[in-house]
Amino acid sequence: MATAAVDQADQRQSPLSDAVVVRFAGDSGDGMQLTGGQFTLSSALAGNDFATFPDFPAEIRAPQGTLFGVSAFQINFGSSAIDTAGDAPDVLVAMNPAALKTNVPSLKQGGLIIADEGEFNDRNLAKAKYEANPLEDGSLAKWQLLKLNISQLTMDAVKPFGLGNKEALRCKNMWTLGLSLWMFDRDRQPLIDWLNAKFAKDPNLAAANVAALNAGHAYGETAELAGPLKQHHVDPAPVAPGLYRTLTGAEGIALGLVAGAQLAKLPMFFGGYPITPASAILHHLSRLKEYDVTTFQAEDEIAAICSAIGASYAGSLGVTSSSGPGIALKGEAMGLAIMTELPLVIVNSQRGGPSTGLPTKTEQSDLYQAVYGRNGDAPMPVIAARSPGDAFECAIEAVRIAVQYMTPVMLLTDGYIANAAEPWAVPDLTTYDAFPVEFLTAVPEGGFKPYGRDENLKRPWVKPGTPGLLHRIGGIEKELDTGHINYAPDNHQAMTDIRKDKIDGIKVPDQVVELGAEGGKLAVVGWGSTFGPIHQAVRRKRAEGADVSHVHIRHIWPMPANLGELLKSYDKVIVPEMNTGQLKTVLRDQYLVDAKPVNKVSGQPFTIAEIEAAIEGALA
Amino acid sequence: MNEMTTIARTTTLKDWETDQEVRWCPGCGDYAILKAVQRTMPEIGTAPENTVFISGIGCSSRFPYYMETYGFHTIHGRAPAFATGLKLANPNLDVWIVTGDGDGLSIGGNHTMHLIRRNLDCQIMLFNNEIYGLTKGQYSPTSRVGTTSPSTPYGSVDRPAQPAAFALGAGARFVARGFDVSKELPNVLKAAHAHKGAAFIEIFQNCIVYNKDVFEDFAAPKGAEDRQLWLKQGEPMLYAKGTKGIALDVDALNLKTVDVVDGDWQAAGVIVHDVTNRSVAHMLVEMRFGEFPMALGVLYDDPRPTFEADVVRQNKAAAEGKKADLQGLLKKGQTWTVAEGGPEL
């Protein structure tokens, strides 16, 4: 169990091990995401493996000091492989009472709280609904508490620069970052360089921020002897040699789509509409004009997908992206892309639902929507990314299937993957096989059939503008081969069968076992962003001798040909999902396996401990 | 229209007809519009393979199946969005949107508005029959108050949208009107095609099954000259064989009808039609039939840069001097190298 270690008597001396979880929590305006992001970079430069979890409110500028305005950033870094952002933090930096209140329950017993006591005034305590000051009343006794007046210390540090009160206090996050850098024995210089570059237009402000950073760092050095603060060095993780960078899921998808379009030798057209947490993909792509990418911010979600289909019809790779509510709006157009058999990639960055739900929180509850959510018999391939780096690979795979089978493809990611960052070994693009598209440009032998098919049941792709191949397409049922309107019973049966057979026949790689063996007592079957906690939990349980394996499905639809046999080779199958059991239902339906659900829909990722408990329960 | 697609090409009406059986009701006004379009295309001199007809859903939206061009019969109300993607992906295509009052102003009103405000280079033919025909006769957003229909057995109570006023309000740079059996329709279509940018054409269309002869008050051949004002660039706004005209009512800041005596329209203060006058265009699209004749022809035509041209220009400028080096892009930003035996900066 992850919590076992803290029960040991000596944990107060050194709660930290070779992997450390730190959570920065503060007001929306305190710059916690920035602090977390820069700390992440410093972890990367220190050679640690890491995973992050930004957790922020849906409100852009929530009222100051409120519980719902708390923004947090968690990072797990270590000297061995890191799969998740960590269960319980070892260190919590709380910039105000609300941040403490909302985050302290998850802090590891014996963990360290660093609180800015300057913010624990009556007003802020009342806003956080504290009746007494928790820093004073002993209610935090099971943790180590370090009270610092970070506000005052920051003000003192930046005094020489003559900033206004408000501006001076905005340097608090750099003071905190400075202290954190000291705690984990990190080099300050890259951060100083970054600050100087960021505030290049205002050297005084840059100097003030650097001073705050240095002051925080110096504070650590001088305070070490007295309080609970200890410096802790985390060795670099043993990772494969090569060039690395940090990558978020949104970056992974954007870059993967560009790579996919290049491998297909197609220009890309991206139609999008602003929605959290999918907008970042539109933002990334809109800066990549030199890669033959056209981005279009449409008037709504429907226009976004329709414009992408229009571009595919013209011979570009049409791509659209959204989150659950927007995907719902796109449903009818997906049906048209299926009917007209045009390539299209639809990215769904899933978030908590239904309806508006939890816009900034993560969930995996759109699997039914992806696989089944259209009118009529409307089969469509579905792929799910497990991590930011995997999102790059999945985006390429989605493009490949879309153009090789002339079909829309749904690529599932989620809010967690979209925002989280991980170290990514930069791939060598020359190792990827190209799949250049061949348009039909002249009447083939035997005549032109707009709905004629190749061995993959793919129909030809003809660009408007091509002489001799004029034809009409649309959403009304097509006649076999000719594509003319046809309502005949036999024809509809035949066309429905073809559309199904085409998707069923898509060649996807066989399912591998991520960890463990084929066959055995228990398989933990996951998909998407639950990869990290499942992988770590299975690893730990196997280390304890348990017979458990991890199977992680990328191809949700159609599923790998060997998956049914593989699942049947285990006595038991459990399926952890951040929904009420959607993949579980599909597995049961497809293979008649007694897959048991393990569900969590709190808007937060699974913890490793939760998966471990589920494994124990299944093996008991 | 655009330079690429106006390469002279000799075609005949036959070249624009498909082998598909036309499936509108016998006597439907759509037949006349289809013929007018097929007759116009050879005169425009564009090539069928560079022409795309895009439609939504409704009776009018079957149109692409009957044109020997590229064609896309899409989903209800969304044709403008498909057209936008198509035209951005290939600005050289000559794009025609076929829509109706329900398709283009009700379910797809939003897209129509944005297509027009963006000024995508295309022709938008909105067939207005003031009724939902394909779903068997419900009242539409352009139906007059009191229209009885299966869904309004006691008469509709909501006021109708005015397509031309809607288009102009959305920022249209070309607004025209015609009707199905009018001999002038090909000229209106040609003018629309000649306009570079979004060209909006309201075509009154007679639904002989569900809203028969609803436009007879102005479209009937008998007395047409008294009820139709055909606008011509540079010519005075005269009708009723030149005995009446449209003048400016300066006090009301509106238009008024005036009698023209002995052909002296200048003395009567009749306005000379200037297609680039946006203020007058606003008055023309609001001109109520009955009190006034129906304003037909090109009401407004004043082009400005098109959406796709601006997008292409910006994309080019943004890409200027940059290499499409994806491998380089992947390596961009904060990176670090892990050497054999540990990381280094």
Q: Is B12 exposed, middle or buried (0-12, 13-18, 19+ CB in 10 A)?
A: exposed
Please report the pLDDT score of residue A58 as a whole number.
Answer: 76
Query: Who's near A224: CB < 8 A, 6+ residues apart?
Result: A230, A231
Question: DSSP secondary structure string, B83-131?
Answer: HHHHHHH-TTSEEEEEEEHHIIIIITHHHHHHHHHHT-SEEEEEEE-SE
Could you say which DSSP state residue B5 is in?
Answer: G
Could you say which DSSP state residue B234 is in?
Answer: T
Contacts across the A-B interface (CB distance below 8 Å) = 208
Contact flag B75-A333 (C-beta cutoff 8 Å): yes
How far A313 CA lies from chain B's nearest CA (Å)?
A: 7
- What distance in Å separates the CA atoms of residue B119 and residue B123, rounded to the nearest whole number? 11
Contact flag B86-A255 (C-beta cutoff 8 Å): no
Contacts of B336 in chain A (CB under 8 A): 44-45, 47, 243-245
Confirm if B159 and B145 have CB atoms less than 8 A apart.
yes
How far A47 CA lies from chain B's nearest CA (Å)?
A: 5
- What distance in Å separates the CA atoms of residue B270 and residue B258, rounded to the nearest whole number? 7
Query: Who's near B286: CB < 8 A, 6+ residues apart?
Result: B162, B165
* Tokens standing for residue A388: 């930011």
* Tokens standing for residue A417: 């993957």
Beta strands A548-553 and A555-557, pairing class: unpaired
Interface mutation vs chain A, best among B338, B340, B344, most A CBs within 10 Å: B338
Please report the pLDDT score of residue A226 as a whole number.
Answer: 59
User: Which ranges of chain B have pLDDT less than 70?
Assistant: 1-8, 341-345
Q: Is A617 exposed, middle or buried (0-12, 13-18, 19+ CB in 10 A)?
A: exposed
Provide the b/e sequence for A95-125 (b: ≥16 CB within 10 Å): bbbbbbbbbbebbbebbbbbbbbbbbeeebb
- What distance in Å separates the CA atoms of residue B121 and residue B173, rounded to the nearest whole number? 11
Beta strands A19-27 and A91-94, pairing class: parallel
For tokens 């996807």, the residue is: A508
- Secondary-structure percent of chain A, ordered helix, strand, coil, rounded to 5: 40, 20, 40
C-alpha Rg value of chain B to the nearest Å = 24
Could you say which DSSP state residue A377 is in?
Answer: S
Please report the pLDDT score of residue A615 as a whole number.
Answer: 98
C-alpha Rg value of chain A to the nearest Å = 27
Please report the pLDDT score of residue B338 as a whole number.
Answer: 81
Beta strands B51-55 and B70-73, pairing class: parallel
**Strand, coil or helix: B212:** coil
E strand residue ranges, A91-133: 91-94, 112-116
Q: Compute the Cα dihedral for A354, A358, A364, A367 and give only its sign.
A: positive
Q: What dihedral angle (degrees, nearest 10) is formed by the CA atoms of B251, B253, B257, B258?
A: 40
Contacts of B41 in chain A (CB under 8 A): none
Contact flag B20-A485 (C-beta cutoff 8 Å): yes
* Tokens standing for residue B169: 């309000």
Please report the pLDDT score of residue A240 as a whole number.
Answer: 84
Q: Distance of alpha carbon B195 from its chain centroid, rounded?
A: 11
Closest partner residue to B89 among A41, A289, A315, by Cβ?
A315
Interface mutation vs chain B, best among A39, A263, A287, A299, most B CBs within 10 Å: A299
Contacts of B49 in chain A (CB under 8 A): 464-470
User: Which ranges of chain A have pLDDT less than 50?
Assistant: 1-15
- Whole-model pTM: value is 0.91
* Tokens standing for residue B253: 């800041």
